[in-house]
Amino acid sequence: MKRYEYVSVTYQMKDMVMATVSEHREIIDKYAGEGYRYVGMVPTESSVNGCIRKMDLIFEKDE
C-alpha cells in the first residue's frame, strides 16, 4: 500500500506580470530524504487568465 503526502506551494508575485516559486526544490529534497518519491503536482488555484497561483506537490511512500 502507498502513503501519499501533499504539500501546498504558493507562487509569489515578482512584478505585475510574473510570479515565481523557489521553495519547491527544498521541499522535494526534504521529502526525498524521508524516503518519499515525488510523483507530480496538481494546480489548486489559478488566476482569471489561467496562470497557476498555488499547487500541491505530491509525494508517495510505501507503507
| pLDDT tens profile 30-60 | 999 999 999 999 999 988 888 888 999 999 9
Distances (CA, A) of 42 to 16, 25, 52, 55, 63: 24, 16, 10, 5, 23
Q: Which H/E stretch holds residue 3?
A: strand 2-10
Q: What angle do CA 39, 43, 62 make, to 5 degrees?
A: 25
Instruction: Look at 13-17, 20-24, 36-40 and tell me which has the smallest mean pLDDT.
Output: 13-17
pTM: 0.82
- What's the pLDDT band for 21 if we cut at 50, 70, 90? confident
Report pLDDT for 19.
60
For the chain, give the percent of residues with pLDDT over 70: 87
User: What pairing do the DSSP bridges indicate for beta strands 52-62 and 2-10?
Assistant: antiparallel
